[in-house]
Amino acid sequence: MIRYTLCLLILVLLAVVVQQFLPALTVLNGSRMLLVPLVFLCGAVTLPTPLMLGLAFVCGFLTDAESTLGPHGGDPEVYTRPVEALRFGYSILLYGVMGFIMQGIQPLFRQGRWQVSTILTGVSVFLYLLTEYLLINFVRGGFTFSRGTLFKIVFTSGLTTIFSPLVFWLLFRIAEWSNYTIRLDGLKRGATRAQAV
Determine if the pTM surpasses 0.85. no
pLDDT in tens, 72-126: 545 555 555 554 446 677 889 999 999 998 888 887 877 777 788 888 888 999 9
Element (H, E) at 193: helix 184-196
pLDDT at 70: 53
Q: Which amino acid is at 36?
A: V
- Inter-CA distances, 178 with 5, 52, 60, 152, 183, Å: 9, 18, 26, 38, 14
Q: Give the 3-state secondary structure of residue 31.
A: strand
Residue 73's contacts (CB-CB under 8 Å, 6 or more residues apart) are 67, 79, 82, 83, 84, 86
Question: What domains can you pick out in the chain, each with its CATH number?
Answer: 2-23+32-196 (1.10.1760)
Q: Give the 3-state secondary structure of residue 182.
A: coil
pLDDT in tens, 78-93: 555 554 446 677 889 9
